[in-house]
Amino acid sequence: MVPALTESDPSPPHHPCLPPSKIVYPDGMKTSGQHPPLYVKLRPYSEFPKEITGSTVWKAEDYSANPERWTHPFTEEEIGELSNSADKFMASGTPLTGISKDNFPLLRLSTLLESIRSELLNGKGFILFKGFPVEEWGNHKSAVAYMGLGTYLGYFVSQNGRGHVLGHVKDLGEDATQIDKVRIYRTNARQYFHTDDSDIVGLLCIARAQEGGESDIVSSHHVYNTLLKEHPEVVKNLTEPIWYFDRKGETSQGQDPYIRTSVFYLETTPNGRVYTKWDPYYILSLSRLSTPALTPSQRTALTILETTCARLALHMILSVGDIQFLANTHVLHARSAYTDYAPPRPRRHLMRLWLAVPEGEGGWALPFGDSGERKRGGVQVDDRPPVAVLDAE
């Protein structure tokens, strides 16, 4: 039976466990996983801001004609540093799941990455690196250098029930209509505007599609302001913990198959920022469970949120060797449907990272029990170990 909305958290509260074994978790950290919010820390609509201001609020026209404001072409020196550290890491025999800033030194790049990390978390929330030599390096070295770079932005977390900390966005021929079983990133279907279960998401383009597969991003704070002006009732609806998110079977023992939550949150600090958690595919796949059906007002909110995002979005096309990093806290992203080249041309392939930034290290103060954990969020099933495979499986 689904708990009443007045009840407390239906799942056991999250309690950090003892330090995990480095035999199983080579970097000494375990992904926390998905948890319901701490309902007593959720704030009512009346406490949400009447308007959001600052650098997290941006419009597509601010950047569409000025790519120099959001792209960084790697220099020869930066590529050389990444290459040297990747070669040394590979020679060390350390498993890829054990990579960290300690064993992947970037003395020159680290200053730039610290600045980019701050901009991701507290500014516009996106960056596009260009010129990562994936065709020269191949999948293995590219994965090492990419994950090594990522450790300077956050802690990598598991992205699915199999423990993949290096994900692969690739069409594996799975049926995109079976949304209660299939993760859409494993198909060529359109991905609606959404956020991922991490603070930052990275996408490294290994191979492009023949057609489609293009990226759209939008400031969720600009969307919030727009909705307040045009559809304030939608914002109110999205601040209420009446939304059920499917976990698609990626649950640990004793956990519910869904999470009840809101879409817009406030940070737990004074003058907290508005944080967004959203993926319509996880809302629409619940018919097999006994969760309440979407109300007419929820269906309206779902449609209006998507159309507003699409209207305000910045469009970009990732080329081979591009790396896009986005802040899930205040940027929503989408992908158009795509068609791959016929064999022997490679299929569209993006390597994906989910990166966590805990509250004590500059991350947002979220109303979740794991807000202070290094590897907060992500998807963790029981004690499944992390895996970093070099291609989709």
- Of 339, 332, 337, 338, the closest CA to residue 314 belongs to 332
Q: Measuring CA to CA, how many Å separate 372 from each of 28, 114, 273, 348?
A: 16, 20, 17, 36
Note whether 321 and 142 are within 8 A (CB): no
Q: Measuring CA to CA, how many Å separate 15 from each of 33, 40, 220, 360?
A: 12, 17, 30, 17
Q: What is the pLDDT of residue 12?
A: 47
DSSP for 11-28 reads: SPPP---SPPPTTTSTTS
> Is beta strand 331-335 parallel, antiparallel or unpaired with respect to 215-219?
antiparallel
Q: What is the 3-state secondary structure (H, E, C) of 320-339?
A: CCCEEEEECCCEEEEECCEE
Confidence of residue 22 (pLDDT cuts 50, 70, 90): confident
Mean pLDDT value of segment 158-165: 97
Residue with tokens 């070099």: 390
Mean pLDDT value of segment 138-147: 98
Instruction: Kindly give, in sequence order, each residue whose CB lies less than 8 Å from that of residue 348, ignoring residues fewer than 6 positions away.
Output: 169, 170, 171, 188, 207, 208, 209, 213, 338, 340
**pLDDT > 80? residue 15:** no
Confidence of residue 1 (pLDDT cuts 50, 70, 90): very low
**pLDDT > 90? residue 7:** no
pLDDT over 70, % of the chain = 95
Round to whole Å and give the CA distance between 254 and 281.
24
Helix pair 296-312, 220-230: axis angle to 10 deg: 120
Mean pLDDT value of segment 35-52: 98
Write the pLDDT tens digit of every residue in 90-136. Answer: 999 999 999 999 999 999 999 999 999 999 999 999 999 999 999 99
Note whether 370 and 25 are within 8 A (CB): no
Confidence of residue 11 (pLDDT cuts 50, 70, 90): very low
pTM for this prediction:
0.95
Q: What is the pLDDT of residue 49?
A: 98
Mean pLDDT value of segment 52-62: 97
Write the pLDDT tens digit of every residue in 235-248. Answer: 999 999 999 999 99
Q: What is the pLDDT of residue 6?
A: 45
Question: Residue 205: enclosing H or E segment and its boundaries?
Answer: strand 200-207
**pLDDT > 90? residue 214:** yes
Confidence of residue 164 (pLDDT cuts 50, 70, 90): very high
Q: What is the pLDDT of residue 176?
A: 81
Cβ atoms within 10 A of the Cβ of 175, count? 10
Confidence of residue 180 (pLDDT cuts 50, 70, 90): confident
Q: What is the pLDDT of residue 183?
A: 86
CA end-to-end distance (rounded Å), the chain: 35
Helix pair 76-92, 134-150: axis angle to 10 deg: 80
